[in-house]
Amino acid sequence: MRIRSALAMLLSTVLVGGSLTSPARAGGNGLPARHSLRAPVTDENFYFVMADRFDNGDTGNDTGGLGDDPLVSGFDPTRPGFYNGGDLAGLRRRLDYIEGLGTTSIWLTPSFKNKAVQLEDGPSAGYHGYWITDFTRIDPHLGTNEDLRALVDAAHARGMKVYFDIITNHTADVIGYQQGARRPYVSKDVSPYRTATGRPFDDRDYAGTGTFPALDPAVSFPYRPVLEPGEENVKVPAWLNDVTLYHNRGDTTFSGENSYYGDFFGLDDLFTENPRVVRGMIDVYRTWIRDFGIDGFRIDTMRHVDDKFWQRFGPEVLTFARAHGKREFFMFGEVYDTSRPFGSHFTTTDRMQAVLDFPFQDAARTFASRGGPASGLARFFEGDDWYTDADSNVYQLPTFLGNHDMGRIGTFVVTDNPGAGDAEWLARDRLAHELLYLSRGNPVVYYGDEQGFTGAGGGQDSRQSMFASRVPEYLKDDLLGTDATHAQDNFASTHPLYRTISGLAALTREHPALRDGAHQNRYADDQAGVYAFSRIDRARQREYVVAVNNSEQPHTAAVPTYAAGQAFQQVYGTGPAQLRTAGDRRLTVTVPPLSTLVYAAAGRIPGSTAAPAVSLAAPAPAAASPGRMEVTAQVAGDSFYEVTFYAKTGQGGWTPIGTDDTAPYRVFHDTSGLRSGQRVEYRAVALDDAGHTATSRTRATRVAPPAVTIEAPAEGRQVRGTVEVRAVTDPERASQVVRFERGIGDGAWTAIGQDSSSPAYTVVDDLTPLGLAAGTPIRYRAILSEPGGTRVTSAVRTVRYAGPPVTVATLRYHRPAGDYTGWGLHLWGEAVDPATLATITWDRPMPPTRIAGGWAEFDIPIADDTEPVNFIVHQPSGDTVPSTREPGGDRSFTPIDDPQVWIVQGDPAVHTTPPPTT
């Protein structure tokens, strides 16, 4: 695409979306100053609920009409992996409770008809909603389509929206392979896709084009897809029963190419590069908007679907929703990653509205639960500019503290602070929710967190029912802030966390700037202590100061503000009713331990008397993502400013690329669609609080070539036999070709192959014929080439040839008191000798081989030292950290690299050298 056309398309997309505010005032050279974007959804309070685990309003649908056998119906209220009885009728009768929490939007886990039971997975049932067979019907365990309509209507009557959790990546596990079920992944390099006539092709060459080769199950895939008798037409709509509309490459390991093309534990992975799949998914979800008035979508597994799919799906669904009266229709995706450059890719390059803010979850837990440095939280918020572009920014992101996959915030505060006691756990939980509600973004409360739910971990352990449970694992849980247990209903509006969250929702409703006002870092201690930030009411020019303290002691901070001698009124927390800033414009606050204070200025921010001087630093490719250009503006002065950035290429006009309202003023311009070496010009227009504007001088740069990075094998790893060498590029383009070379020791480079099939570039290097000695250094590099002559060489990756296979790995475990009775290893994975695995169950962990030198030593027989040994240290059936299970969740090590590892009580790290024990 020509550059002028690309920029024109970007601008037209922004205008069609209708989400850019009108220019605030024309700056110099005719470029308008703009206000920072506030899309329609920047002030929601989400309540995320799993319908099966909320309330049972209709016991008649418990078995979904499938009879009483749990392995058929999937209903067993005594087991965490089966339907427990909750439904849409239960949700509807509890709307008072949900509304009382201050909820404005209810987000439901997937509610479509699921495959009731998958015997291969435990067995377990589709209570969670992610094993869909019929995308047009509500799962009969949860009710009917009419029940959904009644719920939506009742929520709308109360002013609450209803969001669906949707899936475009996969369906239930229905397709098998002629070669056997749930096979290992086969890469496109080993076995490329083939047309129905047998011609090899790369699907990425067709993604987004509207055309696709005809395929044949017998010749097109590495595994031949087959359907069991009776399941040929089980999926709805009918097009989903065409087995050529799936990737059919085997199970993913969630890395590299297979994270896009592999099956999730056998779930049928849709061929989203095929326009038939794109069209089909758009049609499916348009129907729910049109017929049921759904207000938005949370999109599952977004990171595992190709870019071209989202670039079509997002804008088309959004346009349809707005045409059907849903002006505030909103979609956000699950991108389970804490990298801002990676997560923001989906809201910039892929044109989606928002993603779940996983980096916020990690930062909030580190601060509130782990007592991390306050300065870490400040650095986190400085990275918000990654999300700023012309039609979206960080204020739209849903923020959260835990969920149904990773676990609950209540679990984290207990795990991170063993033995602290209920008062501290409750205080840290409350502090986390205060940060959630008072910082930028749309807060999400995971159902049950408001009742102090905890749990042994993530997944099933974090999916307790709100109604009285019969699940033994849940009955063991200790709830925070209450004497209640899971043996009773837990809908107490008097629970201290319910009251806290309800109060925070009321506070932000009364003071809207605390929801979507500009978020400006103000102060941060280098250790645990105070992090302070301002929220700015742009319309009223009013400043709020929020100070959160994660220390167990009171902390005093002198917080910068915009005004000297300004009175501030307390609106939240425990402290003086009124404070006043000093002559240096600092507001001195003393924040109690594990607490929050909020003060609101009594007057306006003093108006600026003249336009601030603004200049641009030299634009440069972002170190973390070469396909994004970091453009930074320096603004003279210290008032409230908003800076709009513009870009221009060739003879085209100036196009807005984002407005930032917090210092440092930056955007990370997406240049991935521009050719290497293309000249790009930038300007910035600053707007002050009195309406004055100033425009910077033009700064120009050229688009950098893509980067190529070897992703595998890892640096320093031991290798043997055949080695998969894998590279990734940034930005990735279908036209790229990557050549790989190998050097032995200090020897010459030798070509070992090339790959032109994106998104990951892979060759397999067979080292066996070389007869290498153990410890021999092996170097790899990748050379990227593009049409037009671009050529880039990766950094060198060095590994070493391994010696003979490891047959026994040793894990050493230290408990200072020497109390090893009952403690053992739960093991799983392909590394461990199957005979050993056959002796291990959850209630019978592997015991120590011996106790030596104060350590319990476990000798683990190994079948494949290149695979990870997965383990949990616990007591028989023990699942409570720290009394019967060690922290750290599922841990692992790879014997070929580390045949010996050390574990210390209470420490989640896996040490590869002996750690200190005192």
Residue 41 included in any domain: no
Q: Is residue 184 part of a domain?
A: no
Tokens standing for 296? 């938005």
Residue 880 has pLDDT above 90, yes or no: no
> For residue range 123-167, what is the model confidence (pLDDT) as tens digits?
999 999 999 999 999 999 999 999 999 999 999 999 999 999 999
Sequence-ordered strand ranges (E) for 132-252: 132-138, 161-166, 175-177, 193-194, 200-201, 225-227
Q: Residue 1 — pLDDT band, cuts 50, 70, 90?
A: very low
Quickly state the pLDDT bin for 23 (edges 50, 70, 90).
Answer: low
Model confidence pLDDT, tens digit, residues 491-545: 999 999 999 999 999 999 999 999 999 999 999 999 999 999 999 999 999 999 9
Q: Domain for residue 888, yes or no?
A: yes
Helix (H) or strand (E) holding 595: strand 595-601
Whether residue 890 sits in one domain with residue 785? no
Which tokens in the block code for residue 15? 């205008």
Extract the tokens encoding 95: 């709307």
Residues 822 and 730 in one domain: no
Report the C-alpha gap between 463 and 446 in whole angstroms. Answer: 10
Query: Residue 512 in contact with residue 43, Cβ under 8 Å?
Result: yes
Residue linked to tokens 């060690």: 886
Report whether 862 contacts 897 (CB < 8 A). no
- Phi (first) and psi of residue 396, to 5 degrees: -85, -15
* Domain termination site, one of 510, 541, 572: 510
Per the listing, tokens 């679990």 go with: 411
Q: Considering just the CA atoms, what is the radius of gyration of the chain in Å?
A: 28
> From the CB of residue 750, how many other CB atoms can be counted at a distance below 10 Å?
11
Spatial separation of the C-alpha atoms in residues 830 and 253, rounded to whole Å: 13
Residue 883 in this model has a pLDDT that exceeds 90? no
Cα(567)–Cα(565) distance, integer angstroms: 7
Give the number of other Cβ atoms within 10 Å of residue 297's Cβ: 24
Handedness of CA 341, 346, 349, 352 (dihedral sign): negative
pLDDT of the residue at 740: 98
Q: What SS3 class is residue 533?
A: strand
Whole-number Å distance between alpha carbons of 262 and 187: 9
Angle, CA 708 vertex, CA 703 and CA 713 arms, to 5° = 165
Specify the pLDDT at position 26.
Answer: 61
Q: What is the average pLDDT value for the chain, to the nearest integer? A: 94
Rounded Cα–Cα distance for residues 261 and 264 (Å)? 9
Question: What are the φ/ψ torsions at residue 398 (nearest 5 degrees)?
Answer: -70, 130
Helix pair angle (145-157, 275-292), 10° resolution: 60
Encoding tokens for residue 823? 């403690």
Domain check: are 394 and 458 in the same one?
A: yes
Instruction: Please report whether residue 643 resides in a domain.
Output: no
DSSP 339-398: -HHHHHTTTTTT--SEE--HHHHHHHIIIIIT---HHHHHHHHHGGGGG-SSS--GGG-E
Q: Check if the beta carbon of residue 765 is closer than 8 Å to that of residue 859.
A: no
Q: Where are the beta strands (DSSP E) in 180-242?
A: 193-194, 200-201, 225-227
Q: What is the pLDDT of residues 724-773, one digit of tens each?
A: 999 999 998 888 999 999 999 999 999 999 999 888 899 999 999 999 99
Q: Please give the full DSSP string across 270-308, using - where no structure is assigned.
A: B-TTSHHHHHHHHHHHHHHHHHH---EEEETTGGGS-HH
Residues 876, 828, single domain; the answer is: yes
What is the reported pLDDT for 8? 33
Domain identity same for 781 and 752: yes
| Phi, psi (deg, nearest 5) at residue 772 | -75, 145
The owner of tokens 């509807």 is 92
Per-residue confidence (pLDDT) for residue 20, from 0 to 100 = 42
| Distance spanning both ends of the chain, measured CA to CA | 63
Question: What is the amino acid identity at position 224?
Answer: R
Decide if pLDDT at 466 tops 50: yes
Q: How confident is the model at residue 24 (pLDDT cuts 50, 70, 90)?
A: low
Asked if residue 460 and residue 365 are part of one domain, the reply reads: yes
pLDDT of 13 higher than 50:
no
Q: Which residues are catalytic?
A: 300, 334
Q: Which candidate, 908, 820, 809, 818, places its Cα nearest to that of 864?
A: 809
The verdict on residue 400 lying in a domain is yes
Considering the domain architecture, whether residues 505 and 518 belong to the same structural domain is answered as no
CA distance 442 to 455: 25
Distance CA 395, CA 405 (A): 24
Handedness of CA 214, 220, 221, 226 (dihedral sign): positive
Q: Give the DSSP letter of residue 61.
A: G
User: Using CA of residue 81, residue 182, residue 177, residue 725, what is the dihedral sign?
Assistant: positive
Please say which residue of 601, 621, 641 terminates a domain: 601
pLDDT of 10 > 70? The answer is no
What is the three-state SS of 696-716? CCCEEEECCCCEEEEEECCCC
Q: Are residues 472 and 444 in the same domain?
A: yes
Closest by CA to 367, choosing from 511, 533, 507, 579, is: 533
Average pLDDT over residues 815-823: 96
Evaluate whether residue 498 is within a structural domain.
yes
- pLDDT top residue among 882 and 705: 705
Confidence of residue 3 (pLDDT cuts 50, 70, 90): very low
Backbone φ, ψ for residue 571 (5° rounding): -120, -10
pLDDT above 60 for 885: yes
Last residue of one domain, picked from the residues 510, 529, 552 = 510
Backbone angles phi, psi at 912, to 5 degrees: -100, 0
Q: Where are the beta strands (DSSP E) in 731-886?
A: 737-744, 750-755, 761-766, 777-785, 791-793, 797-801, 808-814, 824-828, 850-852, 855-861, 869-874
Q: Is residue 549 part of a domain?
A: yes
Element (H, E) at 834: helix 834-837
Classify 850 as helix, strand or coil. Answer: strand
pLDDT tens-digit readout, 204-229: 999 999 999 999 999 999 999 999 99
Q: Which helix H or strand E contains 422, and what residues bound it? A: helix 422-438
pLDDT of residue 9: 34
Rounded average pLDDT over 550-571: 98
818 plus 849 within the same structural domain: yes
Q: What is the pLDDT of residue 29?
A: 65
User: Which CATH number covers residue 412?
Assistant: 3.20.20.80
Regarding whether 496 and 574 lie in a shared domain, the answer is no
CATH at residue 780:
2.60.40.10
Q: Which residue range is the domain that position 891 belongs to?
A: 808-904
pLDDT tens for each residue of 655-707:
999 999 999 999 999 999 999 999 999 999 999 999 999 999 999 999 999 99
Question: What separation in angstroms does the CA of 591 have from each of 35, 82, 440, 558, 761?
Answer: 33, 46, 21, 11, 53
The beta-carbon contacts of 148-151 under 8 Å, at least 24 apart in sequence, are: 148/88, 148/111, 148/292, 149/292, 150/88, 150/92, 151/88, 151/91, 151/92
Residue 308: inside a domain: no
Instruction: Check: CB of residue 351 under 8 Å from CB of residue 316.
Output: no
Q: Is the pLDDT assigned to residue 879 strictly greater than 80?
A: no
Element (H, E) at 546: strand 542-549
Q: What is the pLDDT of residues 85-118, one digit of tens each?
A: 999 999 999 999 999 999 999 999 999 999 999 9
Q: 751: how many CB neighbours lie within 10 A of its CB?
A: 11
Same-domain pairing of 386 and 502: yes
In 3D space, the residue among 344, 342, 366, 361 whose CA is nearest the CA of residue 458 turns out to be 361
Q: Give the Cα separation of 736 and 264 in Å (integer).
A: 28
Query: Residue 25: its pLDDT value, please?
Result: 65
Give the tokens for residue 505: 């929702």
DSSP assignment of 300-350: TTGGGS-HHHHHHHHHHHHHHHHHTT-TT-EEEE------HHHHHTTTTTT
Q: What percent of the chain has pLDDT over 90?
A: 91
Count: domains in the chain: 4
Q: Is there a single domain that holds both residue 482 and residue 536?
A: no
Q: How confident is the model at residue 300 (pLDDT cuts 50, 70, 90)?
A: very high
With bands split at pLDDT 50, 70 and 90, how would you rate the model's confidence at 16? very low
Q: Which amino acid is at 637?
A: G
CATH number at residue 594: 2.60.40.1180
